């Protein structure tokens, strides 16, 4: 975790990262055995949490999960861990984490971040959140420009995440500003398929994901 971001100029942020139970994660990574998928999903989540924690404007990372391995790893990285007590889906988990942040650290912005961003760089996230602070409610679209990897609501703005199918369109329709900034390749590159993983590897993934890159069955993400 960076030094308390609230002591720095500008808006400080609490970032919420929901992580599925690993046994159910990344089913679209076909060709990988279940244990390999789980290991890779955990590694990607760890690298995402680590990068978010190192972003200059991020004061706290909150991981919402019911998986004990994820909870242990996130705690070791300095994140606050909450059980997914709504157990009702991604957006509900994000709202749960954001409500916890608002209750404990009022005055900060709250952001929801995808957990499968292994190529995320702290500086990318900091730039996106700094821009979002000036807009009230904003989001970053994924590399395919159909989904969302980051949703942010500045202090005093309602937190209304709309992750899921066609989330870029739904966020725009709800009035959130699209952050179309240059040089956000790692922040935009979420991983659902092996092709996505290869694209992330070409950008440069974090150390935990690099160690877990699949080679089984002759396939390699590099």
Domain membership of residue 221 (yes or no) is: no
Work out the average pLDDT over 35-54: 94
pLDDT at residue 3 greater than cutoff 90: no
> In this predicted model, what pLDDT tens digit does every residue of 46-56 receive, in sequence order?
999 999 999 99
pLDDT at residue 66 greater than cutoff 50: yes
Domain membership of residue 6 (yes or no) is: no
Strands (E), the chain: 13-19, 58-65, 80-82, 109-113, 137-141, 148-153, 177-178
Q: What is the mean pLDDT of the chain?
A: 90
pLDDT at residue 98 greater than cutoff 70: yes
Domain membership of residue 191 (yes or no) is: yes
Domain membership of residue 215 (yes or no) is: no
**pLDDT recorded at residue 27:** 63
Number of domains in the chain: 1
Domain membership of residue 216 (yes or no) is: no
Token readout for 103 is 């209750």
The crossing angle, in degrees rounded to 10, of helices 34-53 and 122-133 is 60
Any idea what DSSP says for residue 154? -
Domain membership of residue 88 (yes or no) is: yes
Domain membership of residue 218 (yes or no) is: no
Top pLDDT among 68 and 23 is at 68
Work out the average pLDDT over 170-188: 97
**Domain containing residue 162: CATH number:** 3.90.550.10
Domain membership of residue 2 (yes or no) is: no
**pLDDT recorded at residue 222:** 42
Work out the average pLDDT over 149-171: 97
The whole domain housing 103 covers 11-207
Owner of token pair 């590897």: 201
């Amino acid at each position: 975790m960076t030094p308390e971001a609230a002591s720095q100029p500008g808006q400080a942020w609490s970032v919420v990262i929901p992580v599925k139970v690993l046994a159910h994660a990344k089913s679209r990574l076909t060709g990988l055995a279940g244990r390999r998928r789980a290991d890779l999903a955990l590694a990607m989540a760890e690298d995402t949490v680590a990068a978010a924690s190192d972003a200059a404007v991020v004061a706290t990372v909150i991981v919402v999960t019911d998986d004990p391995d994820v909870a242990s790893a996130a705690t070791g990285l300095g994140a606050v861990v909450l059980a997914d007590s709504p157990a009702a889906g991604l957006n509900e988990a994000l709202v749960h984490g954001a409500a916890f942040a608002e209750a404990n650290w009022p005055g900060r912005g709250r952001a929801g971040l995808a957990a499968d961003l292994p190529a995320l760089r702290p500086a990318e996230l900091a730039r996106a959140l700094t821009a979002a602070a000036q807009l009230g409610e904003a989001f970053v679209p994924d590399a395919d420009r159909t989904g969302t990897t980051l949703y942010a609501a500045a202090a005093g703005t309602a937190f209304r995440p709309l992750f899921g199918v066609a989330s870029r369109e739904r966020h725009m329709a709800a009035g959130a500003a699209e952050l179309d900034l240059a040089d956000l390749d790692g922040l935009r590159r979420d991983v659902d398929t092996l092709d996505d993983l290869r694209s992330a590897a070409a950008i440069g993934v974090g150390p935990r994901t690099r160690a877990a890159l699949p080679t089984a069955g002759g396939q390699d993400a590099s």
